[in-house]
A and B are shown apart, each in its own frame.
Chain A
């Protein structure tokens, strides 16, 4: 089980793979509440670009964040899937541009240099997945930047 000192996922753990464009990210499966298909998003004007809007999950208002922009990369095109992630500051949605999948991770193949990520893993069908540092990425301070 991941704890505060070891953000992200480790080898042998179950992870959810989040496809974003041509990249794939991984987060610990136990932080994922559910995946919402085709969320009905209401834009939140005047908010930073990383906030794609808010959507309704059984009466709760949840913010949808652009996974690409959160990492300082290209924005996502479209928002066909929202991965609901539990954080210390409440639930947030991360955009996935393709169907997320669950995998058990192999050994890390190297450190990732992107801020807000930890290690790189080789996953099935010879894809590389970069593990996200969820507490760092999903903090109010980073989102307001």
Chain B
């Protein structure tokens, strides 16, 4: 159940939620370390950094309450870092209470809710622990759990928003906000330490060398071996995460063991099938009402009630078939371990996203592709320990399996920190049979790895080098309407991202018209529906604004080649890595489509996912967002090359947006958000997680501009800027420091070390960031 209308923000919020989980684990680890061994500057610095990064990430994704608590936590830890305050029980309890509060607030925020009381109490407790005065203003009415009005939902105020929001009441999760007492019942009291103390000034429990016991269902975890911290991997990583994962994330009440019922899968399958048939019969009933009785079915209350109940029933039944994606993890871990041993490599396997669930049938089809990807990562990606040491990497490589629910899709990433894919060799290998491969740019050439028969391995091993594999992975994914994308940075690693629908039964679609013809667009790819949008041409591409961010816009009919542009509404579609707006004639409605393939005789059309037969016998084509976006971009590029050939007067315009930007930030959410902002604006984006990595990336390929965070492990943003300025060849490369610390001292330091711009994230406004970047890039040219 996800509010489709706020997907754009929701995506990043979920990404942040997943990231925050790891950071909160790390915070707890560090706190328990302090509790055991007393103040240690390194641990304090790490604590401070985690709190700081949480604050920045939360602010960026619009979780103001989380940001507030993290901010108070940061301020308190800053006092400790500057040795103005010692470490004692009160401090540790206050920070732990902050952690608990954030764990409560994040899932609420993702569900579009707030909890003023929890944020307030945690913040107050943290402020008191500093020794400063308690926060007295904005005390809310106690016990209020308010539902936020989803301010950023782009379509909310427009009359065309209904189709996307389902024409139905708010989703059950959002609609039934329980009162505070119930909402927090599975959690410890907000702001309470596990010792049960609520009053911040009252810290009677003696400092204990043992982590305090967590109450059942409590949010605090006893010293989990957080994967991020490189804890010894003797214990399976997912063990800690799944045992207490649900409770730890502050999810609403989960059934206890006695409330569980084991049901044979086929019974659920039968149920799902029957509900599907009932839904189809209902649609036929609707068309019979229209044809025989000339009654518009949507005007018949009983019909609407029936449809709504069936939809809910279907959703519940589908949910019953869901299992966690990570149920595959033990198999994959075993494969990694075995293959690593066989190849003499040291590999750590980490998992994240234990709460992502997927239809059992879909997951079964993913087992082999995922197995293939992790084996590939061990065999092709991770280098031998000697080679890694030679390149200054830890001898042990890391393979991560990360699952995340985005709308009605699950995205599963398999990444490694190995040598990356050698695009040159891929191009060369493909060029032997296909001359056009030689001309491809790196991004296009990288995707040649999915072609059948292609191998770059110089020798055939037990697992790879036979040229079968990734094409089979792609084919298996096509069978479940999934898709795969790859990113690779030489020397840094490779990430494969798979996106699959959570379920295969029916596809909820938005039906639109373009050039007079109706098409269905899977709702999970629809980010927003906007009334007619003004657009401006930037660098040869038509752009419009969504949530203050530029998005490329095209006419759907032109992209499909069936007509020209219209002045109708726009539908913003999300691919895996970028969004694109399409203008259509009209929005028709929203319906469930049983999608069928077009048969073997029809060539594969990337923009068409399939078709459904409608109750009136007509055929409704289902479009594929990723294919459409790709096609639109290719057409835009074609247009631009035509312009360049014809004109030639605007010598800066076409090139300007191919500029490359290196985003340096240790927070995944911020990195991905910035990547999305700049990619949508037409830039090429690379990322690095700290200053050291950034320097490596710069030496490999000089970016046109560097955008860096300040607080990062290993080498911070100031040090990075200084290092860049020391190299004569990089002296003119613009560097922007983006930070959530707005102090004058920091700003002065940033400018002193040679940054061209200093932007504070709290006042973070994407168009300001984009215009700063454009200005600096323009100045450099």
A contact residues vs B (CB 8 Å cutoff) = 40, 42-48, 51, 54-56, 59, 61-63, 65, 87, 89-92, 138, 140, 143-144
A47 touches B600 (CB 8 A): no
- Alpha-carbon separation in the docked complex, A92 to B596 (Å): 16
B619 touches A45 (CB 8 A): no
B contact residues vs A (CB 8 Å cutoff) = 517, 560-562, 596-603, 605-608, 611, 613, 617-621, 631
| Contacts A61-B613, A62-B599, A89-B600; A45 near B608 (Cβ below 8 A) | yes
| Contacts A54-B619, A56-B619; A43 near B517 (Cβ below 8 A) | yes
B281: shortest Cβ distance to chain A, in Å? 14
B607 touches A46 (CB 8 A): yes
| Contacts A56-B619, A59-B613, A61-B619; A45 near B560 (Cβ below 8 A) | yes
With a cutoff of 8 Å between Cβ atoms, the chain B residues found around residue A61 in the complex are 596-599, 611, 613, 619
With a cutoff of 8 Å between Cβ atoms, the chain B residues found around residue A42 in the complex are 517, 611, 618-621
New A-B contacts (5) at CB < 8 Å, excluding given A44-B608, A45-B561, A90-B600: A45-B621, A48-B603, A56-B613, A91-B599, A140-B600
User: Looking across the interface, which residue of chain A has its beta carbon closest to that of B600?
Assistant: A89
B602 touches A87 (CB 8 A): no
User: Looking across the interface, which residue of chain B has its beta carbon closest to that of A55?
Assistant: B619
B613 touches A43 (CB 8 A): no
Most chain B beta-carbon contacts within 10 A, residue among A43, A47, A61: A61
B508: shortest Cβ distance to chain A, in Å? 20
B760: shortest Cβ distance to chain A, in Å? 46
User: Looking across the interface, which residue of chain B has its beta carbon closest to that of A93?
Assistant: B601
With a cutoff of 8 Å between Cβ atoms, the chain B residues found around residue A140 in the complex are 600-601, 603
- Alpha-carbon separation in the docked complex, A61 to B603 (Å): 14
Contact residue among B608, B617, B620 (Cβ-Cβ distance under 8 Å from A46): B608
- Alpha-carbon separation in the docked complex, A125 to B562 (Å): 41
* 29 contacts across the A-B interface (CB closer than 8 A): A40-B618, A42-B618, A42-B619, A42-B621, A43-B562, A44-B608, A44-B621, A46-B605, A46-B608, A46-B631, A47-B605, A48-B603, A54-B602, A56-B613, A56-B617, A59-B613, A61-B597, A61-B598, A61-B611, A61-B619, A63-B599, A87-B601, A89-B599, A89-B601, A90-B600, A90-B601, A140-B601, A143-B601, A143-B602
| Contacts A45-B607, A46-B560, A46-B607; A54 near B598 (Cβ below 8 A) | yes
With a cutoff of 8 Å between Cβ atoms, the chain B residues found around residue A144 in the complex are 603
A46 touches B561 (CB 8 A): yes
With a cutoff of 8 Å between Cβ atoms, the chain B residues found around residue A63 in the complex are 598-599, 601-602
User: Looking across the interface, which residue of chain A has its beta carbon closest to that of B610?
Assistant: A61
With a cutoff of 8 Å between Cβ atoms, the chain B residues found around residue A56 in the complex are 613, 617-619
B624: shortest Cβ distance to chain A, in Å? 10
Contact residue among B560, B611, B631 (Cβ-Cβ distance under 8 Å from A54): B611
- Alpha-carbon separation in the docked complex, A54 to B619 (Å): 8
- Alpha-carbon separation in the docked complex, A59 to B616 (Å): 11
With a cutoff of 8 Å between Cβ atoms, the chain A residues found around residue B517 in the complex are 42-43
A32: shortest Cβ distance to chain B, in Å? 16
Contact residue among B598, B600, B606 (Cβ-Cβ distance under 8 Å from A44): B598
- Alpha-carbon separation in the docked complex, A46 to B519 (Å): 14
- Alpha-carbon separation in the docked complex, A142 to B766 (Å): 49
- Alpha-carbon separation in the docked complex, A48 to B601 (Å): 12
- Alpha-carbon separation in the docked complex, A91 to B600 (Å): 9
- Alpha-carbon separation in the docked complex, A55 to B620 (Å): 10
With a cutoff of 8 Å between Cβ atoms, the chain B residues found around residue A55 in the complex are 619
B698: shortest Cβ distance to chain A, in Å? 40
B617 touches A45 (CB 8 A): no
- Alpha-carbon separation in the docked complex, A61 to B674 (Å): 43
With a cutoff of 8 Å between Cβ atoms, the chain A residues found around residue B603 in the complex are 47-48, 51, 140, 143-144
- Alpha-carbon separation in the docked complex, A89 to B608 (Å): 20
With a cutoff of 8 Å between Cβ atoms, the chain B residues found around residue A65 in the complex are 601
- Alpha-carbon separation in the docked complex, A42 to B618 (Å): 8
User: Looking across the interface, which residue of chain B has its beta carbon closest to that of A54?
Assistant: B619
With a cutoff of 8 Å between Cβ atoms, the chain A residues found around residue B620 in the complex are 42
- Alpha-carbon separation in the docked complex, A40 to B619 (Å): 9
| Contacts A55-B619, A59-B613; A44 near B601 (Cβ below 8 A) | no
With a cutoff of 8 Å between Cβ atoms, the chain A residues found around residue B611 in the complex are 42, 54, 61
With a cutoff of 8 Å between Cβ atoms, the chain B residues found around residue A138 in the complex are 601
A135: shortest Cβ distance to chain B, in Å? 12
- Alpha-carbon separation in the docked complex, A127 to B613 (Å): 40
- Alpha-carbon separation in the docked complex, A55 to B560 (Å): 19
A140: shortest Cβ distance to chain B, in Å? 6
Which 4 A-B pairs rank lowest in CB-CB distance, beginning with the nearest?
Answer: A45-B560, A144-B603, A89-B600, A42-B619
With a cutoff of 8 Å between Cβ atoms, the chain A residues found around residue B600 in the complex are 89-90, 140
With a cutoff of 8 Å between Cβ atoms, the chain B residues found around residue A54 in the complex are 598, 602, 611, 619, 621
- Alpha-carbon separation in the docked complex, A49 to B44 (Å): 67
User: Looking across the interface, which residue of chain A has its beta carbon closest to that of B612?
Assistant: A61
- Alpha-carbon separation in the docked complex, A61 to B614 (Å): 11
A45 touches B562 (CB 8 A): yes
- Alpha-carbon separation in the docked complex, A144 to B562 (Å): 19
Most chain A beta-carbon contacts within 10 A, residue among B561, B598, B601, B608: B601
- Alpha-carbon separation in the docked complex, A55 to B600 (Å): 15
A30: shortest Cβ distance to chain B, in Å? 19
- Alpha-carbon separation in the docked complex, A59 to B617 (Å): 8
- Alpha-carbon separation in the docked complex, A85 to B617 (Å): 21
A43: shortest Cβ distance to chain B, in Å? 7
Most chain A beta-carbon contacts within 10 A, residue among B600, B617, B620: B600
- Alpha-carbon separation in the docked complex, A133 to B453 (Å): 31
- Alpha-carbon separation in the docked complex, A65 to B602 (Å): 10
A64: shortest Cβ distance to chain B, in Å? 10
User: Looking across the interface, which residue of chain A has its beta carbon closest to that of B627?
Assistant: A46
Most chain B beta-carbon contacts within 10 A, residue among A42, A45, A48: A45
- Alpha-carbon separation in the docked complex, A55 to B614 (Å): 11
- Alpha-carbon separation in the docked complex, A98 to B495 (Å): 56
With a cutoff of 8 Å between Cβ atoms, the chain B residues found around residue A47 in the complex are 602-603, 605, 608
B639: shortest Cβ distance to chain A, in Å? 17
B416: shortest Cβ distance to chain A, in Å? 35
- Alpha-carbon separation in the docked complex, A40 to B613 (Å): 12
A52: shortest Cβ distance to chain B, in Å? 11
A6: shortest Cβ distance to chain B, in Å? 22
- Alpha-carbon separation in the docked complex, A40 to B620 (Å): 12
- Alpha-carbon separation in the docked complex, A41 to B246 (Å): 51
With a cutoff of 8 Å between Cβ atoms, the chain A residues found around residue B602 in the complex are 44, 47, 51, 54, 63, 143
- Alpha-carbon separation in the docked complex, A40 to B608 (Å): 19
- Alpha-carbon separation in the docked complex, A45 to B619 (Å): 13
User: Looking across the interface, which residue of chain A has its beta carbon closest to that of B517?
Assistant: A43
- Alpha-carbon separation in the docked complex, A67 to B608 (Å): 23
- Alpha-carbon separation in the docked complex, A140 to B600 (Å): 7
- Alpha-carbon separation in the docked complex, A33 to B603 (Å): 22
- Alpha-carbon separation in the docked complex, A101 to B560 (Å): 37
A81: shortest Cβ distance to chain B, in Å? 18
With a cutoff of 8 Å between Cβ atoms, the chain A residues found around residue B562 in the complex are 43, 45
- Alpha-carbon separation in the docked complex, A54 to B620 (Å): 10
- Alpha-carbon separation in the docked complex, A65 to B598 (Å): 13
With a cutoff of 8 Å between Cβ atoms, the chain A residues found around residue B606 in the complex are 46
With a cutoff of 8 Å between Cβ atoms, the chain A residues found around residue B598 in the complex are 44, 54, 61, 63
With a cutoff of 8 Å between Cβ atoms, the chain B residues found around residue A44 in the complex are 598, 602, 605, 608, 621
Most chain B beta-carbon contacts within 10 A, residue among A46, A56, A63, A138: A46
A122: shortest Cβ distance to chain B, in Å? 32
- Alpha-carbon separation in the docked complex, A105 to B517 (Å): 43
With a cutoff of 8 Å between Cβ atoms, the chain B residues found around residue A59 in the complex are 613
B599 touches A90 (CB 8 A): yes
With a cutoff of 8 Å between Cβ atoms, the chain A residues found around residue B617 in the complex are 40, 56
- Alpha-carbon separation in the docked complex, A138 to B601 (Å): 7
With a cutoff of 8 Å between Cβ atoms, the chain A residues found around residue B619 in the complex are 42, 54-56, 61
- Alpha-carbon separation in the docked complex, A15 to B600 (Å): 26
With a cutoff of 8 Å between Cβ atoms, the chain A residues found around residue B607 in the complex are 45-46
A37: shortest Cβ distance to chain B, in Å? 15
- Alpha-carbon separation in the docked complex, A59 to B602 (Å): 17
A31: shortest Cβ distance to chain B, in Å? 14
